[in-house]
Structure formats: structure tokens, C-alpha cells
Structure 1
């Protein structure tokens, strides 16, 4: 019943699957620790250039993640131990490699935070997003408010956070919570294909673009532009950038090596 984290590598793309469908892929502390370990290992693997994060489906259909296993929340000895728990949202946000979320079925509470922590979100038609913690007497604690506000705006974020009510895939697309909605049967292929396109790009440039996007959320405009220019200079000095210029001049596809 504790669940596990499955990982399958398809060339330069790694598919990481939350595998506890009988419990809507609700994460236990053990699963959170395994997810952190798996992601850190993939991040250190130079052959992995993009990651897809998804959930194993059950008999009732696709499932992404229902957040933390509520039954395990009372096992912490003190509130301070709860505050310092291994957080799976932090684990996703710490990854340098681009991460695509393939969200089918429920993405609730911490599952919503997991999806928001990914760089790009693709949803199946069955996807439902919610921040239901308020219905149980608390709020999210892994960046839910900040990430939602950046993603869908203050009013829409407040609507989700203050009611706890779910948002379906079409509404999530209209608000900008996801980038694309596809039939459920096409979800993982679509997310994997997108990750493959990202993996075909220069890996240093992709990781730098991700770092730049994250920094842009918290920097004033002038500082963000200067930071981007500095990162551009770093990329421009790489062997991959030289290869890109040569490939352009020779009218061929570039062969990026991550150097």
C-alpha cells in the first residue's frame, strides 16, 4: 500500500510515474523520498534531457495525484517535524532538467502543486484540478498560492483556493493552467513527444532557459533582462552554440552534446 515511483527511460526522455492508483497516487513520505531520489539521479544523468511526470491509472480511469496521503499526516511527532518534511513539490522544482506534467484524472492539493512545479502541463480530457485543503481546515504548503497566481492570475487563484472546488480540463486550458488538452488515450504519447522535442534542443540552453524563466518570476524587469543577457552569454560560449551556428551555415541538423 505504500506505493512506488516507476522510472522508464526512452532515449533522452525519462518517464517518471507515481504508482499507487488504488489510492489515487496519494504520496506517502516514503514515496516522496523515492521521488526526490529518482529525480536527482535523472538530473545528474547527462543522457536524460527531458522528464515526463505522470500517474498510473486505475480501474476508474486516469489518475495524476491526490496529493499527500491524509492518513499519514498524523504520523509526524510535532508540527515542526511536519514543517520540515521532505516535500515532493520542492523535489520537482529543484530539477534543472525540463519537466513536462502529463495530467489525467485528479490533480488535487499536493498533486496540483506537483503539476504546477513542472515546467509545462499537458492535460487529458479527464483532468480535474483542485486545492481542496480548505475543505479540511488547512491550506496548501508547497507554493500553491504563488504558483497558481503566476499561472492563472489572482482572481482565478483565489476562486480555487477559497472554494476548494475543482476545475475541469477545458477551464484549466482557458485560464492558462495547462498548455494543451488531448484525449486521455493520447496524453502520455503527447507529453512524451513534446519532451522528445525539448530533448532534441541544446541541453545547456534548455536548462538555462528554464532557470531564466524561474528567475523572471521574482526579479524586477531591468534585473531580469540583465540576468537573461548574462545567461545568453554563458550559452553563446558553449560548444553546442558553435555547433548550432555551424549547422545553420551548412544547412543541416545540429548535433548537440551538452558541452
Structure 2
């Protein structure tokens, strides 16, 4: 493995909100194999620590959220076949974001490129700054993204907008991204992180079972026929209504107070 490359992915826990931090600002947080391994090492903890109810994902530095994979480090993934099987080896950072069961809010600024775009699409809510620029530039070099780019983009923005990004290969500015639904809000650059935390904390204040089941159901809506989805939704709803948190929510409503959800 290349030892001269710097950078890390850091995990911080703040109450019931986890912060996943891409920490290689001098390279626009371009992801190395080491950073990929670190990202994947956190997924079990994020999914199984019941105190964590939401996740904020962001990248350090002024230039951008993430420039994707560091192309000088790709050889450390192994042979072509080993690279193809990286999902099974827990060696795909965008796939890692997709596997997080807790709701993920991405705080975006500057460049969101390649694998950075895939991580953003794998998140559940995206907040951007006016200088946010999205780009699926792989087509310019002879390939397309392989960690959800051609699939998640279609589900996120529709086939026409996805084709604009994927085939044109040029940047899409924040306002156009907002119209596409690629980001949900644009706020001042200095407010992006705080707004993402605000949204994540609001999610974390909700009943955690209901929040995770809601995320799961939105995923299902992207994958199964509507009629099946409606039946599945009713089963999920019925399960949620049997939880202690649902009973607490009903009591809190009747007593005109904030509910105290415990994830049971």
C-alpha cells in the first residue's frame, strides 16, 4: 500500500449524532485506499450503536467536499478482479455510506466529484453552499463511476438529468442541482455544516425505529412496484405502531409535551 499518501476519515460522536469527516483538505479530500478502509471500519459501529441516531457527512477544507478517488492510489486495490470484488472486501467508501442504516445528512461545498458525488447520492439529505459544483467526470477519461453513479443518480434526479451529468461530464452548479433535486437546500457556505447538524439533530430527536424504517421504506420505493410498496408500507407502519416509542408519542400528543423516545 502506498505510504506516502496522507489523509484520514475521522469519526466523532456528538450526543446521538455522529460526524463522519473526510480529512484530506490539501487534495480536496480525494480518497485513498487507507481512507476507504477507515470509512468501512466505522459502519458496524454506526449501525449497531443504539445511541447514534443520525449521521452528518462532510469534508474538511475550503476547496470542496470530495474529489473522488485518488487515481494515483487505485493500484493498491489489487488486480482488476480484486477491484471488481471490492464490495465483498469492504473496500468501497461510497458503498459504505449506502450501507449506513441511520439517516445520513451530507454537508456539501465546493467540488463534489466522482466518488464524492456517489457518497452524496448515497446520503439521504444533501445541503449545499452556493459554490457547490457536482461533476461525474469519469466519462472524460474513458470510464463511468462504479459505486452507484449510474444507478443512484437516476433514482435521485431522473434519467435525463443523470445523462446530462454522466454523458456530458461537465460540472453542474448549485442552483441547477437544486432544481434537479440533487441537493435539498442551499445555504451560505459558513452555514452548511451547522444546517446539516440541525437537520441531523432533528432526525435524531425522532423515534429511531420509525426513522430507520422510514429510510428503509424510501429505499424500497426506489426498488419495487408501487402496489407491492404500498403493502410493504402497511406492514412497516403496523410494526412501528406496536413499539414503545409509538405509545410514548401518543401519550406526549395527548399531554401536549415533547415525547421522550428510547428506541424501543
TM bracket, shorter-chain basis: over 0.9
Alignment equivalent of 1:15, drawn from 9, 15, 19: 19
- Count of matched residue positions in the alignment of Structure 1 and Structure 2: 256
Counterparts of 2:24 and 2:81 in 1: how far apart (Å)? Answer: 28
Shift of 1:74: 2.8
Query: CA 1:75–1:35 in 2, change beyond 3 Å: closer, same or farther?
Result: closer
Alignment equivalent of 2:245, drawn from 237, 240, 246: 240
Q: Which runs of 5+ in 1 are unaligned?
A: none
Q: Which position in structure 2 is the counterpart of 1:36?
A: 40
Alignment check: 8 A CA contact 2:207 2:263 kept: yes
Matched, 1:206 2:207: no
Shift of 1:16: 1.0
Q: Say which is worse superposed, 95-104 or 150-159, in terms of deviation.
A: 150-159
Q: Which position in structure 1 is the counterpart of 2:84?
A: 83
Alignment check: 8 A CA contact 2:21 2:59 kept: yes
TM-score (norm 1): 0.96
Q: Which position in structure 2 is the counterpart of 1:149?
A: 154
Residue aligned with 1:64, SS = strand
Q: Which runs of 4+ in 1 moved over 3 A?
A: none
Matched, 1:49 2:53: yes
TM-score (norm 2): 0.94
Residue aligned with 2:186, SS = strand
CA RMSD of the aligned region, Å? 1.0
Residue aligned with 2:66, SS = coil
Q: Deviations over 1:91-119 (max 9, x none)?
A: 11111100000011111001000000000
Q: Deviations over 1:104-147 (max 9, x none)?
A: 11110010000000001000111110100011111100111111
Query: CA 1:150–1:158 in 2, change beyond 3 Å: closer, same or farther?
Result: same
Q: Which position in structure 2 is the counterpart of 1:139?
A: 144
Alignment check: 8 A CA contact 2:33 2:76 kept: no
Residue aligned with 1:256, SS = coil
Q: Which runs of 5+ in 2 are unaligned?
A: none
Alignment check: 8 A CA contact 1:62 1:184 kept: no
Shift of 1:76: 4.0
